[in-house]
Structure 1
Amino acid sequence: MRAVPICCLAVTLVLVCGACDLAPGAVEPACEGWRPGDVVLTELLPDPEGTDTGQEWMELYNPGRSAVDLRGLLLYAARPDGSQEKAYLFEASVSVEARGYVVLGDVRSESLPAHVNHSYSDILGSLGNSGGLVGLRCGDVVVDEVRYTGPIRSGVARIYDGKLVPDALDNDEVSRWCDAPASASDGGMRASPGVANPACAGTEDAGVPADSCLSSRTGTVRSLSRPRPGDLVITEVMADPKAVADAQGEWVEVYALRDVDLNGVTLTNEGSGRTLLGDSRCLELRAGTHGVLARSAEATINGGLPPVLGSFAFGLSNGEGSHALRLSLEETLLDEVAWTSAAIPGVSRQLDPARRDVTRNDAPESFCPTPKDFRFGKGDQGTPGAENRPCT
């Protein structure tokens, strides 16, 4: 990623950085504190009816409980392989309300149409009608990025499935996007700029409203069982797998003290790593059982883990230093563990089962390396999804 070149800014807000021969990192971004997922791309119109020029737009959603300001961020667009990138710098404040939407458009006139909140003018050029890549970043932090694929239908927006919780990891999955269905209330309009998306065709019959989920055990839709502080305990961490690469084999184990669903729960680390767990199905964890959250849900590449309850996109640190993992629900902290020691390759760090609560797992001495006699899958030491061993 190239930094924002001063020479580009001095002439225009067009950031086609190849035109300015400046080394990456030479200019600090005017944004701080942004994390992946702080805003989420939820809808695109790459191919409007008629001419594309001046009519394309994209929609952002703020999943947080506080408003955010896009000032200082870069909005970029490129081909699907990332080539020929063009980027727009938000120099002025553009606020996105908590749980609210903002629509950014390729508007070339002085007045904005009713469905567009802010114009990036002609700076991004034309979005690809057969596929492309769009995203936002702050320095080297990618807040969200989406690759969309064709065929794109003229006048039909591509939407992230409205029955799912908007999330910067889940919207990477092409299968979770679809052509916007026609709306009877809007005269058949095939887009929903600035409001919640409808369900993708073929999924709305699941009948899963907000604050509900589809139970895999009963096959029925029910209300979510929201965890409270103390209901979930972080019990095991594999930060440095040896049998497979870190990007496929890292995982975190949690334990439930009562029946809860992890839908809407956020897992974060000590840095910018953040993943919101969401699905139309219930991410059920019964009282007295363990659940595994992993970088990959595929057992053939994640080291042979048992069935994974949810996945996260950020990495876990291996070296010495200040490390932390936190579970939260709508900014209410559910549990947190912190440590400073380096990870042992191929060995998980597990909580003594006698200290399995959100207070005693705060102490570093409550954790210890998994004994060598306890292995899983392809041979790494750990007890994912099973009872931990006492620390001696």
Structure 2
Amino acid sequence: MMTHLWTRHSKRLITLLAAIALMGMSACGDDADKNTDENNDADKCADVTCAQPEATCDGNTAVTYTDVGICNDEDGTCDYSAVEERTNCEDSAQECRDGACVSVTDVCENIACEAPADSCEGNTAITYTGAGTCDPIDQSCDFTGVKVVTNCEDSGQECQQGACVSVEPPESCDDVTCAPPEDTCDGNTVVSYSGDGVCDDSDFTCDYSGVETRTDCEAGEICDAGACVAESGDHSVNAGDLLITEFLADPTAVDDDFGEYFEVYNTTNRTLHLNGLTIADNDGDAFVVSHPDGDPIAVAPQSYFVFGASADTALNGGIAVDYAFVQGTDMTLANSGDEIVIFRDKDSADEVEIARVEYGSGTDFPSKSAGVSSQLGSEHGFDAIDNNDGSLWCHSREKISATNDDLGSPGAANGECAIPTATVTIQDLQDDSSTDHPAPGTPVRVENATITFVSANDAWAQDPAGGQYSGVYLKVSGVDVSGVSVGDVVNIEGTYTETYGVTTIDNPTITVNSSGAALSPEVVSSSVFADSATAEPWEGVLVKIAKPGVTHANPDGPDNDYGEFRVDATLRVDDQLFDYATGVSKPTVCDTFGELAGVLHFSHGNYKLLPRDAADFPAPGALDLSTDNAVEVSAVGISPAAICVSTGSAVTWTVSSGGAIELTEVDPSSGAKLTSPGFSGIAGSFGGFRYTFNDAGITHYMGETGTGSSIGQGRVIVAEP
């Protein structure tokens, strides 16, 4: 197929023209004096449906609607004033995005947006001056402001690995390889090469004149991708001639700026010319398919054609793109939901809608999964089907290529959506090294799992054997779970997805086998949450942390407060499932707990403990920042048993009576000494022991006399700066 990279239409220009046209219609078409008596007597609301609008932004004000509107009998217009709600996002120090107030700080604080590697697009160098900007709506990275495009031809250089470099000419033909170029088109003539070229000793260039063959295409043929193909007399594109068969809105192998794509399929036996078609969404994104020389942009009969954000395979993940649009200017495939609509003669009296796909919440399309394309199942055939019927779509399950781990089949036939349900364990879902780990989008069945939490929107289930990889999140929004309770042993059937980094069973059917088997939390050291590699195996598992201390009262502050605090400087505790500020109390820095329990979840770049109720969240013990950083030890105990200090503080242990006391770091739940303690020392009868805590966190220790008798345990909480 040919690769087309040519003219685009600016979204701003289209928007301006549309606005001018709208002004003209308003000025010229709303003349009430021209209404006839017949129109005045008619029921103007008879054919009017005042559907509930989608949420939008008016500046930094979120505008939402609680219900459908009311039709005005006088003119047939819709009035939404009674159901419109307006929320000023500035009141909560947030920004309005897609009709919702969102926090830029919270969702993006752990997303680095490191610049992609420098690269070449043809002979153009693509470099970046710094990190990109995180989008709080979908946590994608925008590099528009730091992207630098340099045409190396302007300096007589060549682009190599993202840099314009001066290339030394070869010194002899021994340094030159004259492999035959690929067949190409010169107008309607095929240019092909029968073998290698010959190196010219005078300038060390390749001469292909001896092996070049030029073949004019015959009448009724056109040259396409270096070959003459049959040309029917009718190349027009009509409704149903093209189907949208696949799209990837959120690539992970490469940046969205280069990796977004959508695929269309020619359902006819004719060669279709796409020139002049408009690709648009419902919100102003649009571009017109065009060629700078007016040459036909053709898609062969019963063949695929790929539109993508970049045609450079070095940037787009190795995808063969047939026509490149400018992501963010021509069109953006929004992660949360969007439309892809193909028009002929758009905005004219002869406008024809060729194909339409609308995906996102509130549709039947599969929920968005990062790095996974959505595909129209091949088993449905491509004749006389509703392209916008989301029930015919599913997640792709095959890798794009050996070098691109995103899932999809751009330019090739899709797989079937209706595949057998795989019976797996929760461990198979969570551990991608399992031999039975399914591809995202696979229908799965999990048997005899135990429900650890359930509400109208969220649920978790766990293998009763426990341990790492034993818990999983169930997306039950819209599912009737009224008959499901904590402790139920269930079978679960749904679709396995990875949604924002969370292993999920989507839209599950839950069958209760038995009840009353509530699980006890797994005891886990808070230190495992300092590293994502050791935290990830506990995602979705009901866990318990022994003797934690509060090191930060509001990690999203000071401007934002999302009901979270951090313990032991490693793990956030979130009020998503239980409002502990109302039900118990909101902790402050230095407060201590005997234990904390809950489901471990991952969201907005952080692992979080979600207590389910007051049993998971006992009242904290109040503790203030120490004023003297001093602890007394003796054969009868440690006083105070818990002390809270600032980062960088030195704590002194002195013996109040008796002989020396040995201090050693221990596991807080078992009390056993650590094999490789980070903290230890001896408080002598005369000199005491002094230790500086440079890092925020918590240290649990025990004291022993010289005879090995334990005097008890203590802990040092080091508050975060």
TM-score normalised according to structure 1 size: 0.42
Provide the TM-score with structure 2 as the length reference: 0.24
